[in-house]
Chains A and B, each alone.
Chain A
């Protein structure tokens, strides 16, 4: 895409999404679409930053009213990204947070690709880490230009001026608000470099700031994709083949067409869609269909078969992802060895807003309104399906009613465009919960097999770690690198916080039939953390050592990890004795650039009721942007992980997902939710990720606590598999 295309699309985008945020009926972009030159756009807008759309203007615009628009490369999913990003800009631009509004960036991989993930996406706990440098630099650049413009106006040296609260102050007490300087600043050459504030100079970053997106989320005004209304739009809903890979064979739609409100029945390769004036009529229409499926090659597959294949794969060697020391020698020369196998199930994302997408396809253009973690991929798939060139596809990103990784995929967007292509009106595709849960892209089922070598003094020499499961990375980007190693799957495992004389990590890719896999909150580091933290706990018990002391002795290279482990233990009163039937479990990890430790204290009843009495976390995530968001993310992320650890497993029968709604894929409820105590370690290190850390730590801490309380070492999640269930009360 050329820069000029981009200039046009951004402005159009901003207009469109502004309307959406205002809660108005969206005006469609299509009828008025005429490609402008960038120059025309600049004159029309004239904000500071408009003339540098590939420089600092990619992120920051200052209007003649002094109001600041931040263009966020990260979407808001409830993690507080928009607020954090606004704070970074406001800090350097020297404006109050209240004068900043946030827009989502349009699809533009060149400009907004994540520096860690290499493509334009929100996920992997990268929002703060990826934004930290460029957003602050953009704010600082704009501030410098505004100061220079004021200095020129007053005929003084820019070094004698300073900016505060959106106003430039001169040496003789002169003042000019930013809005009056926009035109002059826009004409200045860009500074060659900018100096960013040091943490001691922060006035905003690190202080608790109220979220910008929440007021409209308590009064019904916030609009998610499912709430959008485009003129002429109808609702669409689908019935997709219950077996992955299956196809539509035949459909009798005569009864469906009689349902009041139903407009069209649209067939796709693997699904039938009904469009209607409302969602209820769509569902009535779908129920009235007589559908015949070509179930395909996966129709006979059950979970047991997939389990067996994975278990046998976990004893193979696959490819070596990491090797240090000599694990073969260590194992063959060991006084004793210890093997344990940990297992984590297929999981659904099930965000509370099911998959939804508003799409319009016309002869000359396609327009999407959709909450997506990957706007550039959304644009590409829409172009491919509609047959239109990329620059004829507009994507208006929307607030997201939960994602947890689900909206890193765009299968539902592809489907919406395929339906919209067959009708001459915009459609709002809404998946039923059943459609959503049975056609997710699931967190893979994994088996981790660890074998440790222990010498005659009981000292740990090292371990071999075999990781078997589907490759999300390969499914997502099409293939694995030549090494054959899925870098996400082996993350953390190849670089544990424990000093080991020898370590070998083998990656065994075993693709399950009949079930597509994808990213799920915590991704590879979550899987590895569970295996490592349960294993090290078992080793500590075998050695007769306290689990905290045992870990600390091996963590000399990681003072930040040691610090969070000690803090969590101290705050959880680790040393205080407990009654019989009670126990504490701990886990610690270096994940997503942060260091986190979690302690679970629980009691196990004779009937396998589990009462969680305390949940304590400590995190060192480097410099904190907004402490309120850090606390909220750890609390929510921990309980999100607890919910999955207690209850969740997706299973297949005859190739069909058995769980369909929240009655048989149940979630933690408030009456089962323990409080979460979070302690933040002050730090001036670079910011680390937060959103997935709590989720990654709760599983192993829970299993370790269960073992301490009951003596039963569960090595497979969820707990409900073994008959455990949560009970509440002190």
Chain B
């Protein structure tokens, strides 16, 4: 049995220790906002927060998340900063197919939490792990620049 806290809810789960957090979240808990893109930490589609830090859930064994706070795209909007990032995404019309955007928003929120006013280089460094095949990078950058994280924190 693994004790897992996801979006503030405690779960007792009978899953293998080495099952990646991604598939526990998606296939066991039914939270499908977190996406699968590569399974090898190359694309960032599966990004969630572990105690506020962005992690690639496709390569994180669920046992490593036990006893820590997991936040997914479904709940990131409950923080003022997360909601601001989501709004900036809409204001800048970032989204194309949208498949990568859960992960992008999770990475951007974690970045802004750490660095409320990131430089372009810091945005690039913080977001380099998230691929977008629709290549919405220009707008992702603009949206992040537009978030006044100082006000949200």
**Residues on A facing B (Cβ under 8 Å):** 77-80, 210-211, 213-215, 217-224, 226-227, 229, 235, 260, 277-280, 350-354, 399-404, 430, 432-433, 628, 632, 635-640, 642-643, 661-663, 667-671, 673, 675-676, 728-729
- Whether B95 contacts A639 by the Cβ 8 Å rule is no
Q: Does residue B35 face the partner (Cβ distance < 8 Å to A)?
A: yes
Query: B23 → chain A, closest Cβ, in Å?
Result: 4
> Which of B45, B93, B100, B138 is close to A210, meaning CB atoms less than 8 Å apart?
B93
Q: How far is the CB of A284 from chain B (nearest CB, A)?
A: 8
For the complex, what is the distance from the CA of A79 to the CA of B135, rounded to whole Å?
12
Known A662-B42, A670-B137: A353·B27 in contact at CB below 8 Å: no
Contact residue among A217, A642, A671 (Cβ-Cβ distance under 8 Å from B98): A217
Q: Is the CB of B37 within 8 A of A433?
A: yes
26 contacts between A and B (CB under 8 A): A77-B97, A213-B95, A218-B98, A220-B31, A220-B72, A224-B35, A229-B30, A229-B32, A235-B27, A280-B27, A352-B35, A352-B134, A353-B99, A354-B37, A401-B98, A632-B96, A632-B139, A639-B138, A640-B133, A661-B38, A668-B135, A669-B130, A669-B131, A670-B124, A670-B130, A671-B127
User: Which residues of A have CB within 8 Å of B128?
Assistant: 669-671
Contacts of A642 in B (CB 8 A): 135
Q: What's the minimum C-beta distance from A501 to chain B, rounded to whole angstroms? A: 40
**With a CB–CB cut-off of 8 A, which chain A residues contact B89?**
214, 218
Chain B count of residues within 8 A CB distance of the other chain: 57
Question: A227-B32, A352-B97, A670-B128 are known contacts. Are A640 and B27 too (CB-CB below 8 A)?
Answer: no
Select which of A211, A215, A220, A277 is within 8 A of B32 by beta carbon.
A220
Q: How far is the CB of B42 from chain A (nearest CB, A)?
A: 4
A639→B77 CA distance, assembly (Å): 29
Given A279-B36, A670-B141: A632 in contact with B136 (beta carbons within 8 A) = yes
The answer to whether B135 and A279 have CB atoms under 8 Å apart is no
A222-B42 CB under 8 A given contacts A352-B132, A670-B141? no
A662 contacts B38, CB within 8 Å?
A: yes
CB pair A404 B133 closer than 8 Å? yes
Please determine whether B124 and A671 come into contact, CB atoms closer than 8 angstroms: yes
- Check: B73 CB closer than 8 A to any chain A CB: yes
How near does chain B come to A211, taking the closest CB pair, in angstroms? Answer: 6
Question: Using Cβ atoms and an 8 Å threshold, which residues of chain A touch B125?
Answer: 671
A663 near B45: Cβ-Cβ < 8 Å:
no
Q: Which residues of B contact A663 (CB under 8 A)?
A: 40, 42
Q: Would A78 and B97 count as touching, CB distance under 8 A?
A: yes
* Secondary structure dominating the interface of A: loop
Bound state CA distance, A184 and B27, in angstroms?
49
Tell me which residues from 33 to 54 in chain B have a Cβ below 8 Å from any Cβ of chain A. Answer: 33-40, 42-43, 45
Q: Which residue of A lies closest to B45 (CB)?
A: A352
Given A78-B95, A676-B138, A210:B90 Cβ within 8 A: yes
A667-B133 contact, Cβ under 8 Å, with A402-B99, A661-B40: yes
Name A400's closest neighbour in chain B (CB-CB). Answer: B97
Q: Which of B71-99 contact A (CB under 8 A)?
A: 72-74, 77, 86, 89-90, 93, 95-99
Given contacts A280-B19, A352-B132, contact A430 B36 (CB under 8 A): yes
Find chain A residues with CB under 8 A from B138 CB.
635, 639, 673, 675-676
Cα distance, A667 to B130, chains bound together (Å): 10
* In the bound complex, CA of A669 to CA of B135 (Å): 8
- A-B pairs, top 4 by smallest CB distance, nearest first, are A220-B33, A401-B99, A78-B97, A217-B98
| Contacting pair A218 B39 (CB below 8 A) | no
Residue with the highest number of chain B CB atoms closer than 10 Å, among A226, A350, A628, A669: A669
In addition to A211-B93, A632-B96, 17 A-B residue pairs with Cβ atoms within 8 Å of each other are: A79-B96, A218-B98, A219-B73, A219-B86, A220-B102, A227-B26, A352-B35, A353-B97, A401-B35, A402-B99, A628-B93, A663-B42, A667-B131, A669-B128, A670-B127, A671-B128, A675-B138
